[in-house]
Amino acid sequence: MAKIIDGKAISAAERISIKEETTAFIEANGYAPGLAVIIVGENPASQVYVRNKHKACGEVGFLSRVYELPEATPQGELNALIDTLNADEAIHGILCQLPLPKHLNEDEVIARISPAKDVDAFHVQNVGRIMLGDYDFLPCTPAGVMVLLREAGVEISGKECVVLGRSNIVGKPMAMLLLQANGTVTICHSRTKNLAEVTRRADILVVAIGKAKFITGDMVKPGAVVIDVGMDRDENGKLCGDVDFASVEPICSAITPVPGGVGPMTITMLLRNTLTAAKRFAQAAN
């Protein structure tokens, strides 16, 4: 039986720590860490994410502001709001919920957010600092995966690590973090030949491709640690991951479930990044 890496429990413990640190921060500085979330349009999934972020901020004692803009909001208006929030000393983290409506330029929005308030770690300056290993913030999902591995007692150094997926949000930064932890890292993608041969080499397999139950038991090395970043729906409309849990769980040594694995960690790491940003701001002000 594989060990189930419980993201809910690990996330809850991390949030208790963040809440305690936030209480101390408020006592020391007289204000709370502040997070501003911008949502444009009425994408149902985005609305759920934004509500969850707002609720999480309340749980740990943050100031939380949500800016709901209509679908037809022009680029200039969105840019102006970001400029206002960049200058607002009560706001330490800014997040623009993606995807944006098609008429808006996501790259322009990401570049507009101050790197010091870029708690998603998407700004080119923060991405570059991650490459160098000298960063203030990490993208929330890869950062959450690293905490899960740490709390599960998984040794990364010297291990064969395979990352399936090369997105800027998960795959690429995930590979860099594993590399910085002295893993030997391979990135796989849609053009990778003999994929199963590569995934079977992995001591640690991180799957983030957005294809339901894509990784099956015959693609996994016995005793591997399997991290499933996917959030999909199966043929019955039931929530599942990129890993076929039923066939993989008997083979691996540890695995994250979906739901309840990586998912809970993402918002928790957003809270951690916002607290870090607030601490940096307070340090610079003193």
Residues with a catalytic annotation lie at: 53, 97, 120
Report residue 140 as tokens: 């929330």
Quote the CA–CA distance of 182 and 177 in Å, as a whole number. 9
Task: Compute the C-alpha angle 81/84/88, nearest 5°.
Answer: 135
Beta-carbon contacts of 205 under 8 Å, excluding residues fewer than 6 positions away, are 161, 162, 164, 199, 215, 220, 221, 224, 225, 226, 227
Residue recorded with tokens 């929530």: 239
Question: What are the beta bridge partners of residue 204?
Answer: 161, 225
* The total number of residues written for the chain in this structure: 286
Quote the CA–CA distance of 53 and 65 in Å, as a whole number. 10
